[in-house]
Amino acid sequence: MNKVFASPDAAVADIADGLTVAIGGFGVGHSYPNSLTVALRDHGARGLRIVANSLGGGGAHRPQILVENGQVDAVVVSFSARPGMPSPEEALVAEGKLALEMVPQGILVDRLRAAGAGLRAFYSPVTVGTPLANGKEVRDFDGNDFVLEHALPVDVAFIRGWRADRYGNVQFRGSSAHFHASFAKAAKLAIVEVQEIVEPGVIPPHEVDLPGIFVHRVVQSTITLGAAASKMKRRAPESGREYFGKPALSRSGIARRAAGLVEDGDYINLGSGLPTLVAGHIQGRGVFLHAENGALAYDLLDDPEEFDSDFFDAAGNFIRMRAGGAVFDSVVSFEVARSGKLSSVMLGAYQVSGSGDLANWATPGQIGGGIGGAMDLAASGAPVVVVMEHTDSKGRPKLVEQCAYPLTAPACVKVIVTDLALFRWIDGRFVVEEIAPGFTPDEIRAVTPMSFDFATDVRVLGDVELC
């Protein structure tokens, strides 16, 4: 048996027009099967339906090039747009030239996993109360609503591994396993590109991450992209926004206060953006960070000389695993999240309502957006802590009585940490427990059109000692 093909071009040569093609990869540019994607572009198959977490961002090697080349009629993705980044797919959807289906990240991986397991459908707590549940069957189990999700079989899957043998056994490396195995299992034809092709037996049986029975073709990567060494732990300016002519907490100060909510022994997930800064304030503590792409117990890197492109978190930051840490695929990662194993989830938000509703994936009038893993995390039952500035970049309130933005999850937010105040959900209502230095309760009310109370003893925001 020899599943090795001479080149990516040879491996994709018989892909016909109109097929559904799942393409692995995470974030803007991590561990995409670039060689196979470029080969498919050059092959020219058209009328394709692409299934992916994301089509990547920019560059000449990621799935987005298939859209730009006019080969794609429909996409099924968790991200169709990212803040501050041009999105050709969003533009084509707006013109009616591209069909779009948005799927939460964890549900996407489980729909493909279900297809690979021969299951036709399953019920999920994710998307309940959001626009993505519209038109779907909702059923009550033990007093809670669950949405019916259908399996997502595909014709072809492109995945990327570290090593494979000629039987098709694949080994992944670091936190770059994420979607690849579930994508391959859902496909009639699974093609893997790898950095190294080895003889059978070189990969020990207990280190095979994807058995060869799920893989049909193996090719050597011909396009190797160097990772951006500049993508290190994000730093924030020490100066904050001004309200009423007075400085509020800086972004670093917000993150530091949020870190004070975390106890040693906690397992926490940090969302992209401002919540990522919390990692810098828990380093050296017994707190275990969890990432949706498949990592547990890690620290973000500072030194660009130390980065390894196979080790990254869900926000695309390069990481160093701690002693006792673990890496796995996204199937396991979302099992951790949705089973309620996390101590807390820290997310950013566009809006939070007075009922604790969270909106953080799309703006009104936007066709798609960026769901990522937020819906799965918010539906997990773990306490959701929103970490954000009090108003948006145009000075509009983000704490409102009712969300005008599409919901990520209803009634899930338990704590809000902003640059002006800390709110905690107590007995069905938000209560302000801390206010930024120099600000008054009346000023907090003036910029917060949301129902809330003040604690009897309001403390100074940020006045906390980290363990």
- The domain that holds 453 is classified in CATH as 3.40.1080.10
Question: Distance between CA atoms of 46 and 30, rounded to whole angstroms?
Answer: 25
Residue 318 lies in a domain: yes
Place of tokens 């917060």: 448
Q: Is 466 inside a domain boundary?
A: no
User: Could you identify the residue written with the tokens 């994710």?
Assistant: 126
Looking at the structure, do residues 214 and 347 belong to the same domain, yes or no? Answer: no
Residues 432 and 298 in one domain: yes
Flag whether the pTM goes above 0.85: yes
**Residue ending a domain, choose from 220, 254, 281:** 220
* Shared domain check, 275 and 157: no
Residue 10 near residue 40 (C-beta atoms within 8 A): no
- Please indicate, yes or no, whether residues 213 and 134 belong to a single structural domain of this protein: yes
For the chain, 467 residues long, give each residue's pLDDT as a single digit of tens.
Answer: 999 999 999 999 999 999 999 999 998 889 999 999 999 999 999 999 999 999 987 777 889 999 999 999 999 999 998 777 778 888 899 899 999 999 999 999 999 999 999 999 999 999 999 999 999 999 999 999 999 999 999 999 999 999 999 999 999 999 999 999 999 999 999 999 999 999 999 999 999 999 999 999 999 999 976 555 444 444 555 568 999 999 999 999 999 999 999 999 999 999 999 999 999 999 889 999 999 999 999 999 987 678 899 999 999 999 999 999 999 999 999 999 999 999 999 999 999 999 999 999 998 888 899 999 999 999 999 999 999 999 999 999 999 999 999 999 999 999 999 999 999 999 999 999 999 999 999 999 999 999 999 999 999 998 665 54
Examine the domain organization and report whether 34 and 160 are in the same domain. yes
| Sign of the C-alpha dihedral computed for residues 291, 295, 299 and 303 taken in this order | negative
Smallest CA-to-CA distance from 193 within 381, 38, 305 is with 38
Task: From 189, 220, 251, give the residue that closes a domain.
Answer: 220
Count of domains in the chain?
Answer: 2
Q: How far apart, in whole angstroms, are the C-alpha atoms of residue 335 and residue 351? A: 27
Helix (H, G, I), strand (E, B) or coil at 423: strand
Residues serving a catalytic function are 292
Distance between CA atoms of residues 243 and 30, nearest Å: 39
115 lies in the same domain as 181: yes
Task: Give the span between the Cα atoms of 223 and 225, in whole angstroms.
Answer: 6
One domain for residues 92 and 206: yes
Q: Are residues 200 and 292 in the same domain?
A: no
Task: Give the range of the structural domain holding residue 167, as residue numbers without chain letter.
Answer: 8-220
